[in-house]
Structure 1
Amino acid sequence: MSSRPLIGITTSDHKSFLAWACDRLAVWRAGGQPVRLSPSREIPEGLAGLMIGGGDDIGAQLYGGEMRLDVRVDPARDRLELALLERFLPQQLPVLGICRGAQIINVHCGGTLIGDIYTTYDHVRRQRTVLPRKHVDIATGSRLHTLLGVSRCRVNSLHHQAVDRLGDALEVVARDRDDLIQAIEAPTHPYLIGVQWHPEFLLFNRPQQRLIRGLVDAARQH
């Protein structure tokens, strides 16, 4: 029997092969057995952890936001991820949200989102890049701080939505230089963390890979 815990990774049905390959490789290198979860696939038994990946915008109707016609949404994926959170969180199973994943965690917990940071705030700098160029400050004493082992780091940035009003039982544990929320976590949950950046694309950045290893380790210990 494999000692690798099964880690479900949510994707859309149209997600690119390259993005899925990065997700899969990151989880495998961290010691987990990656399992792809999408709206058209059956959810297997035995999942020990969940990584909610990046992707399309979250439907504005889920958090009382303004509907937009110039963005792509994926209602089927929204439903899938909300259902998975409904299943995972009461069981205290570990969850890591990446970009969209952090946002859907916040929405699930009753929070809201900024529909577009660039039209909402004039001062926000456009830093859309897979390279780690954005500076982020990590809250000392947070689980994220313990995992990364640093109080400041550089991350990549591919988002235009962001966490606005915080959901129940969540705390802000990282902000960028524009004061936008970059990471959230639930102090009372064994491992519920959402980051606005993409650690799966930073395969050779040791602090960032600790996020995914932390998920796998928590899944193994559950």
Structure 2
Amino acid sequence: MPSPNGKPLIGITGPQTKALMPRLCVALIVKLYGGEARQIRPQDTLDLSQFDGFVVTGGHDVDPVLYAAEPEVQPKYDAERDAFEQAVIHAALNSRTPLLGICRGAQLLNVCRGGNLMQELKSRRQITSNRWTVLPVKTLCIRQQTQLQRLLGGAKAPINSLHNQAIDRLGDGLQVSGRDLDGIVQAIEDPGYDFLMGVQWHPEFLLYLRRQRHIFRHLIACARRFQDVRLQARR
């Protein structure tokens, strides 16, 4: 059902169980910027057309069968979550609902657009560490004249890293807006949408950095515009 208080309704995806902390952090920043946060999971019965924005959160690796590849590593997959979040992403793409993909969410967005992934990164890292950390100890190189650059400003930004897979071949309509020092894709966006972005790092764990909060603030602003247009169309 729509948000009862008139705030833009943001669906925050996740697995059926666990992954509580990142989803709570996303909900916190959504509420801070005036959105109504709703946690949505694979077994929920939902009308996706009621949402004004989505955040597809991080978690298990995307099953390579979704981009017609053989497994190269032995990670954990979550087929139920893959199917659910694919449905969310395709619904957002079709309706042009603002969407932010975080980590696996960015990867799945790329796959839904026909791209593929690198299944392991250790062998591809020459400058950056393969160590997972929530601390912003890695460097994001921002492509100029992109939405990401307008939000974060500057040419570089500190980011964290909690992933062992990454975007390889870009999906249709997407462009790279950020890479790390090894050239590994860290951010994608579609300039033809008001807000369609995927980031490989976890900005929800960096909310103490004002630049990172700008990503969520803009998502909510775009969701509010989307809500206004949708409500006007119903009158």
Q: Tell me whether 1:60 sits opposite 2:97 in the alignment.
A: no
| Contact 1:127 1:134 survives alignment (8 Å) | no
Aligned to 1:203: 207
Superposition CA RMSD, Å: 1.5
Residues 1:17 and 1:140: Cα distance change in structure 2 (over 3 Å): same
User: Which residue pairs with 1:143 in the alignment?
Assistant: 147
Q: 1:37 aligns with which of 35, 40, 58?
A: 40
Q: 1:105·1:194 contact (CA, 8 Å) conserved in 2?
A: yes
Runs of 4+ in 1 over 3 A off after TM superposition: none
Give the secondary structure class of the aligned counterpart of 2:137. strand
Give structure 2 stretches of 5+ with no counterpart: 227-235
Structure 1 segment 6-45 matched on structure 2, within 5 A: 6-44=9-47
Say if 1:27 and 1:216, in contact at 8 Å, map to a contact too. yes
Partner of 1:101, secondary structure, is helix
Instruction: Name the SS for the 1:103 alignment partner.
Output: helix
**Aligned-pair CA distance for 1:88:** 1.2
1:105-116 matched pairs, under 5 angstroms? 105-116=109-120
**Alignment-derived partner of residue 81 in structure 2:** 77
**2:213 is aligned with 1:214:** no
> Cα distance, 1:70 vs. partner?
2.6
Number of positions where the alignment pairs a residue of Structure 1 with one of Structure 2: 221
Task: Compute the TM-score of the two structures, normalised by the length of structure 1.
Answer: 0.95
What are the residue-to-residue correspondences of 1:35-184 with 2, within 5 Å? Answer: 35-44=38-47, 46-67=50-71, 70-118=74-122, 120-121=123-124, 123=126, 125-184=129-188
Report the equivalent of 1:190. Answer: 194
- 2:44 aligned partner, one-letter code: R
Are residue 4 (structure 1) and residue 2 (structure 2) matched?
no
8 Å CA contact 2:113, 2:172 repeated in 1: yes
Q: Per-residue deviation at 1:150?
A: 2.6
CA distance in 2: counterparts of 1:54 and 1:16, whole angstroms: 8
Please state how far the C-alpha of 1:68 moved relative to its aligned partner.
5.2
Residue ranges of structure 1 left out of the alignment (5+ in a row):
none
| In structure 1, C-alpha distance between the alignment counterparts of 2:7 and 2:161, rounded to whole Å | 30
Query: 1:209 and 1:109 mapped to 2: Cα distance?
Result: 26
Deviation at 1:111, TM superposition (A): 0.2
- Stretch moving more, 12-21 or 146-155: 12-21
Structure 1 CA distance, aligned partners of 2:58 and 2:195? 19
Give the TM-score normalised by structure 2.
Answer: 0.89
Cα shift readout 1:140-160 (whole Å, capped 9, x = no counterpart)? 110111111232100010000
Residues 48-98 of structure 1 deviation map (CA, whole Å, 9 limit, x = unaligned):
001000000100101122225631111111111111122111211101000
Structure 1 residue 204, shift from structure 2 partner: 1.1
| DSSP-derived class of the 1:182 partner | strand
Task: Decide whether the 8 Å contact of 1:65 with 1:115 is kept in 2.
Answer: no
